[in-house]
Amino acid sequence: MNQDTYRDQLPNVRLQESEQFRRTLLTMLELIESEETSYADRKRAVSTIRDALSLHESKENFGIRLSQLELGVATRSRAVDYAASELESQEEKFAEKLKELMKARAITQTELASRVGCSQPAISQMLKRQCRPQRVTILNLAAALDVEPKTLWPNLNVTDILDTVAAVQEDGEMGAAESDAMRRTLDNPPVKAPARRLPSRKK
Amino acid sequence: MRLAAKLGHWTLHETHALDARVVELSDQLIFEMLVDDTFGFTCGMRLAFCEGVALPVGGGIWLIGMRRENETVTEAMIEVLRARREMVFS
């Protein structure tokens, strides 16, 4: 849909029959037409108008749904698809390993949270796989539990594969460089660091 | 990706959603969750969201945008986020 089509629709917009709403759309249109607006912001404005005109399937899809974003890219790339499934597998192992280490060291969720610098609910949600930890959190957890990060999350290299997701999403294309980067990562299997046996924490 | 689910544990005035920091964006009642270096986005990214309780409507958190950490906030970006917030609650 081009800008003219948007303009044609605006006078007839009955969206909530709100003048404020219409003004909002016009503001977006001005952004699109302004030469000072960056390409990324122009895309955001176009997307906003598209949503406003109810061209999306439903209001449920109004915001950016990251799960769909990742899935959408995955369907276009077997490499990303592989990485996404790998991530699921790694997360499952992470939760199991974290639970195991906490039990072995007799550390409570509250104590571990204090050492890591996050909230106790965060630890709880990680154990239940309701909170995928950030990379920095994994590093902090590993330090707190005195293990190598890869003991908790064996394949941190998966990030190298998924780094291109954002770039692919940005332009909707997987360029040769991005494709090559993924392939290089896939060609280099992750180093499997053996878990170290550490003494249990004295109660 | 379950990043957004972390926001389910956030309430107004809290500085974190589980292990992710939350900041208010330009005093607009629009907030950003900072994902410093999670999987897939090692340059870091920010999820923009608004919170229903702060507005005269029912509760709920709405994701209204996303930007990369290294992407500068522009006036146009703020305008778009403000527009999307208005649309969510209109």
Which residues of chain B lie closer than 8 angstroms to A31, CB-CB?
A: 76, 79-80
DSSP 8-state class, residue B49: E
Distances (CA, A) of A192 to A11, A16, A94, A162: 62, 57, 14, 19
The yes-or-no verdict on residue A46 having pLDDT over 80 is: yes
Rounded to the nearest integer, the mean pLDDT of chain B is 76
Q: What are B6-36's pLDDT values in tens digits?
A: 777 788 788 888 888 888 887 678 889 888 7
Query: How far A82 CA lies from chain B's nearest CA (Å)?
Result: 13
CATH value of A69-187 in 1.10.2020.10, 3.10.28.10, 3.30.460.80, 1.10.260.40: 1.10.260.40
Q: Please state the φ and ψ torsions of residue A202, each to the nearest 5 degrees.
A: -70, 140
Q: How far apart are CA A33 and CA A45, in angstroms?
A: 10
Structural domain tally of chain B? 1
CB distance from B57 to chain A under 8 Å? no
Q: What are A74-106's pLDDT values in tens digits?
A: 444 555 566 567 677 778 888 999 999 999 999
Q: How far apart are CA B80 and CA A24, in angstroms?
A: 9
Q: How far apart are CA A55 and CA A47, in angstroms?
A: 10
Contact B19 A118 (CB under 8 A): yes
Residue B30 and residue B47 in contact, taking contact as beta carbons nearer than 8 Å: no
**Dihedral sign of CA atoms B16, A73, B75, B87 in order:** negative
CB distance from B13 to chain A under 8 Å? no
pTM over 0.80: no
Task: Give domain limits for chain A.
Answer: 3-61, 69-187
Domain span including residue B58:
3-89
**Dihedral sign of CA atoms A37, A171, B43, B14 in order:** positive
Best of B1, B19, B50 to disrupt the A interface (most A CBs within 10 Å) is B19
A188 or A86, greater pLDDT? A86
The yes-or-no verdict on residue A116 having pLDDT over 80 is: yes
Lowest average pLDDT, out of A54-58, A150-154, A178-182, B32-36, goes to: A54-58
ipTM, interface predicted TM-score of the complex: 0.79
The pLDDT assigned to A145 comes to 93
Closest CA to A69 of B84, B63, B23, B79: B63
Question: Between β-strands B45-51 and B20-24, what pairing exists: parallel, antiparallel or unpaired?
Answer: unpaired
**Dihedral sign of CA atoms A91, A97, A102, A105 in order:** negative
